[in-house]
Structure 1
Amino acid sequence: MNTSALPAALADIVDDFQALDEAERLQLLLEFSRELPDPPARLQDHPELMEQVVECQSPLFLTIETEPADGGQPGAAPERVRLFFKAPPEAPTTRGFAGVLHEGLDGLSPAEILAVPDDMPDLLGLTRAITPLRMRGMTAMLGRIKRKVAALPQHG
């Protein structure tokens, strides 16, 4: 599958999944679930600041923030999007999907995130190993991130 349309970090992750057989892909997804960082305390203690992705079978919350790309110099490069997820440890598949999106998209510009194809989750090769409902949850996570990014005020 062609990953050239993906940002570099996300393309590397997709390539890693595609190089494995199905059982190994599930193991890799579990690794991503363990590596998903907790949201900062200011979000952890205020769930109302995060949006629930109701399409996910497990309770998953996410939000985005932006920060200047290079210290906020006027006329500088576009801002970067920071992603924050909250998912329970007993939901490894959901956490794994969030971990993939966090590692692949966190720190990118809004334009880079908006350019990610909506069917990117299918590129991980998990469609036979994971229920369609769970795959819809990951697609919904990506869609929610893109919708929140698209709603950001335009800069520059």
Structure 2
Amino acid sequence: MAETPLPASLASIRDDFLALDQGERLQLLLEFSQALPELEERYRDHPDLLERVVECQSPVFLFVEVTEGVVRINVTAPREAPTTRGFASILHEGLDGLTVDEVLTVPADYPLELGLTEAVSPLRIRGMMGMLGRIQRQVREKAAA
């Protein structure tokens, strides 16, 4: 069976990481952490809409919207947790604006493809996998509604 291609946005992010050595990868992750957009005001006013990502040690919350088959990712992570915030930013940049099918075909182990397993603890990688899994579950639920 042919492997489903990774959406171009995530493939590009992966390729950017893999083109660097370990130290440079951590720097790129830090740059992603600084690029995570602030949560939209309507979600800041309604934290009850956000789902906690319990796989993350840091308090990470997310909410997914699906409108006419297009996915919008809303995620918040604390500035004092740059690794976790960087992972959240990668998923935001890589998934926001994709179609339902594109988001759902992303492999669960995508975080392992970034080449960070030697630089970042397995617990943090598991947190990013948890974020991806929750995003995909919310997409499935909202697309079916």
TM-score by length of 1: 0.88
Aligned length: 143
1:19 alignment partner in structure 2: 19
SS at match of 1:151: helix
Query: How many Å apart are 1:4 and its aligned residue?
Result: 7.0
Distance 1:114 1:11 in 2: 15
Distance 2:105 2:15 in 1: 18
RMSD: 1.5
Alignment match of 2:98 (pick from 108, 114, 120): 108
1:46 alignment partner in structure 2: 46
Query: How many Å apart are 1:67 and its aligned residue?
Result: 2.4
Hey, which of these two has a bigger chunk of helix by percent? 2
Contact 1:4 1:11 in 2 (8 A): no
Query: How many Å apart are 1:5 and its aligned residue?
Result: 1.9
How do 1:122-137 and structure 2 match up within 5 A? 122-137=112-127
Query: How many Å apart are 1:47 and its aligned residue?
Result: 1.2
Q: In percent, how many aligned pairs have the same letter?
A: 59
Distance 1:150 1:34 in 2: 29
Distance 2:83 2:48 in 1: 23
* Structure 2: 5+ residue stretches without partners: none
**What are the superposed Cα offsets for residues 119-141 of structure 1, whole Å, 9 maximum, x if unpaired?**
00000000010011101000000
Which of 1 and 2 has greater Rg? 1
User: Amino acid of the residue matched to residue 64 of structure 1?
Assistant: V
SS at match of 2:142: coil
* Structure 1: 5+ residue stretches without partners: 69-78
TM-score by length of 2: 0.94
Contact 2:58 2:81 in 1 (8 A): yes
